[in-house]
Chain A
Amino acid sequence: MRKMINSNATEVALIGVLLLIGIFLSLSTDRFLTLGNVFDLLNTSAVNIIFAVGLLVVLIAGGIDISFAVAASVVQYITALALGAIGGGNWAIGLIIAGSVGILFGAFNAFFIHYFRIISIVVTIATFNIYFGMLMFLTGGVSIYDLPDWLVTPVILFEHQAANGSWSEITLPSLIMVGCVLATWLLITRTTTGRQIIAFGDNPEGARRFGINIAAMQFIAFGWLGLMSGIAGLVQAHYVQEVVPNALYGRELDVLAAVVLGGARLGGGRGTVLGCVLGVLLISVTQNGLNLLGVSPYAFKMIIGAIILAAITLSNTGLERLLPVFANKGEAK
């Protein structure tokens, strides 16, 4: 038991903090634990979770990427224009176009990182500017409101009318999110490729000597993030029913913070899908709780920052130092 807690310190700490916040919110507001609110949390976190599991794979492989959110904006544009050109399409075609274009953007990053041995943060700062600059330049900042009907029609998977007449629903983004989370989990924990990515992220030189194909690792990691960004971009365009060039600008830092909060190590080699999902959820639940509690919006950022700090402190310190009961009595003073 103790061993399990210690080896998954981050996840345990996050679940603990989430439970504490959850219990507190259920006691102090009568709205937190309603179906409607839980569904809202799922629906509104879906896009960030899809981004987050993609970024997780890159972080595990020892890289970092800040270009994925604006790349997703470019994907939105290309997909919207391509769908317009072929005259409609459907969800399958949309996802294939968005995913493939996303993979291309990821591969572009991986190409420079691998063949020219440039640090990933430098490459992605450059591509971040290239993608966003290209988007603003080519579109002139014009949004697209005329999207195909299938894309802007909400797809309701489950709906429920509460006693007071209010509707709550689970929509397509949540299903796509679950698919992406499962696929990433399978990739990391159940495939040889996943283990190779972890080994490569932990010790690139060791992995190379061991015979792991380094180029493949980079392309798979960044390609995976590209795929997820493409899908996330399409999903975001779906629920806001429009394509706006800077709608996703700045999202990369929110997602990065959530993934690192979820225990992914910036140096590579460590990170779990569960932790990453919990990281995103912790931030969404906090924001949601503050609204439900009626806390003044002037205090929001302060409280969110404090909770991130508390969760990270808890997971980094580990239970032994915070709760000396668990520690060896002989060493404790």
Chain B
Amino acid sequence: MKKLLAAAFAASLTIASASPSFAADSGKVGVVVKIGGIPWFNAMNAGIDEQAEKLGVDATMIGPTSADPALQVRAIEDLIAQGVKVIGVVPNDAKVLEPVLQKAKDNNIIVLTHESPSQKGATWDFELASAQGFGEAHGKLLAEKMGGKGEYAVFVGSLTGPLHNAWADAAIEYITENYPDMKVVGDRYGVAEDVDKSRSTALDLMSAHPDLKGFMAFGSQGPIGAGRAIQERRMIGNVFVVGPSSPGQSRRLIKSGALAGGFMWNPKQAGEVFVTLADKLMKGEKIEDGETIEGLGVVHPDFENRNIIVDQLVAINKSTVDKLAAMGL
């Protein structure tokens, strides 16, 4: 057994040491996202491609066919085997990815993560919105729409996804503190990456709680599904849905009022930052407190938890949605 391990270790060392010569000077960058084929990550892909061309970096995005952490693990294993220099990840499940990210680091690969603050195994994690700021912005918007009182329900992408739950925590805490007449019903529902499930759950919840006045949905399809349910029940103006959504997809719903609005950050910008940071770190540069990085602005990195968090929120509402949709988001 020991021999086998040693052999495997030696093999991994040879691969690791062989890779730089194979990949020439600049090195390859592979970014594994949650799921391929949805507008959000298509925009991120565009950002990665554009910035890669601009900086002359060989960067590609890999989108698994479903939002399954196991598929991400496999994709990262493949990248390690290919001998890339930088692996970027937008994790589906922070815990599941820990061992494989550690393995990448052990192979001297730089690991960048996004939408997963304090990810174990990451060289750096970057966020274009702080969980606190993003959650509070949505909590405040929902409270304004609901007039500060009534029942509301919360959707997240998955019950274990770290970021959606952190937003939900921040939003609920903000509402509880500032609007004591607002009450959240049930636990949070892990349906917001699936439009059909979001729709049927929203319909069920409106049946179960006739006085329900709002939905807060964190997850790419959650606001869309809940908005469709509001349309179906003809509750536009009575029940309000807030949440980050893809403007091209939500444009019709926002214009009709079925979706009250939300905030987002620009996934294209996130794609660009992946490449910018990868390029910077591959060149051996360090990230300093107070320096300005393209796409992030002035940064104040958390060196202990390896987080770079900035607040670059973009509001999605009736007046901004057309412009955002025209950007292909």
Partner of A297, one of B37, B39, B186, B232: B186
A310 proximal to B (CB < 8 A) = no
A26 proximal to B (CB < 8 A) = no
User: A169: nearest residue on chain B (CB-CB)?
Assistant: B232
A289-304 contact mask (Cβ, 8 Å, vs B): 1 or 0: 0011110111000000
Partner of B233, one of A140, A141, A166, A293: A166
Instruction: Check if A246 sits within 8 Å of B38, measured CB to CB.
Output: yes
Instruction: Check if A29 sits within 8 Å of B232, measured CB to CB.
Output: no
Instruction: Check if B37 sits within 8 Å of A291, measured CB to CB.
Output: no
A288 proximal to B (CB < 8 A) = yes
Instruction: Check if A298 sits within 8 Å of B159, measured CB to CB.
Output: yes
Instruction: Check if B185 sits within 8 Å of A294, measured CB to CB.
Output: yes
Partner of A291, one of B38, B41, B208, B252: B208
Instruction: Check if B208 sits within 8 Å of A297, measured CB to CB.
Output: no
Contact of A292 with B207 at beta-carbon distance under 8 Å, contacts A141-B63, A298-B187 already known: yes
On chain B, the residues within 8 Å of A68 by CB distance are none
Number of chain B interface residues as a range: 35 or more
Instruction: Check if A288 sits within 8 Å of B252, measured CB to CB.
Output: no
A316 proximal to B (CB < 8 A) = no
On chain A, the residues within 8 Å of B195 by CB distance are 240, 244, 247
A24 proximal to B (CB < 8 A) = no
Instruction: Check if B37 sits within 8 Å of A245, measured CB to CB.
Output: yes
A91 proximal to B (CB < 8 A) = no
Instruction: Check if B196 sits within 8 Å of A240, measured CB to CB.
Output: yes
- In B164-221, the 8 Å CB interface with A consists of 185-191, 195-196, 199-201, 203-208, 210
On chain B, the residues within 8 Å of A171 by CB distance are 232
A16 proximal to B (CB < 8 A) = no
Instruction: Check if B186 sits within 8 Å of A294, measured CB to CB.
Output: yes
B249 proximal to A (CB < 8 A) = yes
- In A156-170, the 8 Å CB interface with B consists of 164, 166-169
Instruction: Check if B234 sits within 8 Å of A40, measured CB to CB.
Output: no
On chain A, the residues within 8 Å of B41 by CB distance are 141
Instruction: Check if B37 sits within 8 Å of A136, measured CB to CB.
Output: yes
A84 proximal to B (CB < 8 A) = no
8 intermolecular pairs with C-beta atoms under 8 Å apart: A141-B38, A141-B42, A166-B235, A246-B65, A288-B200, A292-B204, A292-B208, A293-B208
Binding site for B on A (CB under 8 A): 29, 31, 34, 36-37, 40, 43-44, 47, 132, 136, 139-143, 145, 154, 164, 166-169, 171, 236, 239-242, 244-247, 249-250, 284, 287-288, 291-294, 296-298
Shortest beta-carbon contacts, A-B, top 9: A141-B37, A291-B204, A44-B200, A167-B234, A292-B208, A40-B203, A245-B37, A31-B207, A296-B187
